[in-house]
Amino acid sequence: MSMDFKRKLPIPKEIKAQYPVTEELAKIKARRDADIKAVFTGESDKFLLIIGPCSADNEAAVLDYMGRLKKAADEVKDKILIIPRVYTNKPRTTGEGYKGMLHQPNPDEKPDMLKGIIAIRELHMKALSDYGFTCADEMLYPENYRYLSDLLGYTAVGARSVENQQHRLVASGIEIPVGMKNPTSGDLTIMMNSIKAAQSSHTYLYRGWEVTSTGNDTAHAILRGYMDFAGRNISNYHYEDISRLCELYQEYGLKNPSVIIDANHANSSKKYLEQIRIAKDVVYSRNHNGDIKGLVKGLMIESYIEDGCQKIGEHIYGKSITDPCLGWEKTENLIYKIADTLE
């Protein structure tokens, strides 16, 4: 085989035993899980903000950001429920570039998956213990989900993964809300089929076991824009796009119709400052139409301490090494603006 099997990694049960969640932290997670789920089931009318760095590349900077976010979250808690983005797995279109803390706990060093597994568990645990946050991460590798299953509050299946059967089947066995992004082609029927699959029961192979899932009633859509045949970014956050999604949900008859609007990626053409305008536009659409208000549960925003992005090795504290992000000052202002505008 053209693979070098370096070492056998500990299974999730072993890692959880080495880095256990205390009973008190488990209670905090249970309360957060209930609060987040209530938004998707319609029992709560709070607005979700899934917000944070494009990639969690530096523990100190991410936790610094988390402390700032906690203060803002407490001030807007009557209207907004904040879920920090702590994305430790990064999809790479060509396979090149920084693949996240799971691969490289230190972006300047070679990949070390064992150190990465430990690093991402410790980071998510500190977010919970220090700030009371259960966070969002991308389910890039379905078999790795259980390393963090007792810590995460939300997970997303990316635009390149949403057509993959294993992602869909594993999403059906996850106990927290899973966002299914529209694919890079923009075909919404692919996304809707993935939600249907995630909401259904399945029997499948997982980590060497035959398992049966019960289905995930809070699997939902994420609109992130797409790319057309000529390679141009096309946005799909507009009033008309969301109205069409309302119609699709009615046609498919899925449970708990919901969408999160991703304000970056193809929706902004990765022009990070556009996230501010897009967020305001989505809130306006929501305020204008009751059906859209019921469907749009929140926004996904890429934000860090410093504006923009940098190359690996520049070592600017709190600045993204992947996609450009809103800096903290603009982020804080946007959070308060959204809270003031929500109806």
pLDDT range class, residue 92, cuts 50, 70, 90: confident
Each residue's pLDDT tens digit, 250-304: 999 999 999 999 999 999 999 999 999 999 999 999 999 999 999 999 999 999 9
pLDDT of residue 135: 98
| Domain membership flag for residue 296 | yes
pLDDT at 96 over 90: no
pLDDT of residue 7: 93
pLDDT at 1 over 80: no
Answer whether 121's CB lies under 8 Å from 19's CB. yes
In the chain, the amino acid numbered 169 is: L
| Domain membership flag for residue 5 | no
| Domain membership flag for residue 336 | yes
pLDDT of residue 193: 98
| Domain membership flag for residue 306 | yes
| Domain membership flag for residue 7 | no
Answer whether 148's CB lies under 8 Å from 123's CB. no
pLDDT of residue 95: 80
Q: How far apart are CA 7 and CA 264, in angstroms?
A: 37
pLDDT range class, residue 93, cuts 50, 70, 90: confident
Q: How many CB atoms lie within 10 A of CB 197?
A: 20
- Whether the model clears a pTM of 0.95, i.e. scores above it, the answer is yes
Instruction: Print the domain residue range for 27.
Output: 12-341
State the chain's mean pLDDT as an integer.
Answer: 97
| Domain membership flag for residue 135 | yes
| Domain membership flag for residue 4 | no
| Tokens matching residue 73 | 């979250």
Would you state the torsion angle of the CA atoms of residues 42, 43, 45, 48, taken in this order, to the nearest 10 degrees?
Answer: -70
| Domain membership flag for residue 57 | yes
Share of the chain above pLDDT 90, in %: 97
CATH of residue 316's domain is 3.20.20.70
Residues present in the chain in total: 343
Domain count, the chain: 1
